[in-house]
A = this chain, B = another copy of it.
C-alpha cells in the first residue's frame, strides 16, 4: 500500500521516520519545531515525523519567454507548494523548494531555488534529487514552450491581423523523476476544470506516481490564487491489484491545513 511505498522510498536513503536522532548533523539540520508547532485537527502532533529526510517541492507556475518582454504562463500562485514546504519543515524534514516566478516570502528554514521556465526547473530538480526521499511536484509546469524565443521585442506587422505562435513540448519533470532507477516517493498534482477523477487517475498511472492530489480549480473560492483549497488524493494499492484506485477526500480548508493533512496521510 501507499505506506509501504513511502517506507520503501525512505529506507533507500535514511533510517525510518523517528529513528533519526534529533541532534542531526548540520547537513541534515531538520529545523525540528517545538511540539506545538504542528498540531493537526485530530490533536496528534507530527513534529519530527519527517526528521532526517529531504523533501524536494516544486511550486508556482513556469514562465516561457516569447521575446524579452512577453511570455506564456498560468495562474498558479505557488501558495499550495509553499504551504507544503512549511508543513514538511514543521514535521522535521530538510526542505528544498524550487519555485517559479511568484511573489511569496520564503518560509524560514527552507532552501529556496528560484527558476523561471520549465527547462530551468528540471535542472534544479535534477540537482536536488540525489538525496531526495520525497518529491512533491506541485508546480504548474508549462506543457509547451516557444519553439524559438525572439532575441528582441517582436514588432507588430502593420496590417497583419493574425499571428501564430509555434510551441514545442517541455520536458515532463515529474515523469523524469519517476523514470529514475531509485525514484523518491513521488507526489503529483492535477489541477483540472472537469473530469477530475479521470484525469487524476490517468496521470497517476501514466507518470507512475505514488500519490496524486487532485484539485478542481474551477470551484469558486478554491484553487489558483485562493487561500483555501480542497483535494482528493488518489493512489494505487500495489498489494491489491483488484482495487483500481484508492481515494481520500480532504474537504475545503486553509491551504496550510490542507498541506499538513496531505503529508499526514502519507505517513506510515
Interface residues of A (CB under 8 A from B): 66, 68-76, 103, 140, 142-144, 147, 152-153, 155-156, 158, 160-169, 191-194, 199, 206, 217-218, 224
Contact = CB atoms under 8 A, between A and B. Distances in A.
A147 B163 CA distance: 9
A177 to B, nearest CB: 18
Contact of A74 (B69, B156, B161): B69
Contacts of A69: 74-76, 140, 191, 193, 217, 224
A72 B143 CA distance: 14
Contact of A71 (B72, B144, B193): B72
B68 A72 contact: no
A-B pairs, top 7 by smallest CB distance, nearest first, are: A165-B165, A163-B167, A143-B156, A161-B169, A70-B74, A152-B193, A153-B193
Contacts of A224: 69
A150 to B, nearest CB: 9
Tell me the number of copies of this protein.
2
Nearest to A155: B199
Nearest to A166: B164
A217 B68 contact: yes
B165 A169 contact: no
A247 B70 CA distance: 28
B143 A162 contact: no
B169 A162 contact: yes
A2 to B, nearest CB: 26
Nearest to A67: B193
Given A68-B193, A68-B217, A103-B103, 7 more contacts: A68-B218, A69-B76, A71-B74, A144-B156, A153-B193, A162-B168, A163-B167
A192 B154 CA distance: 10
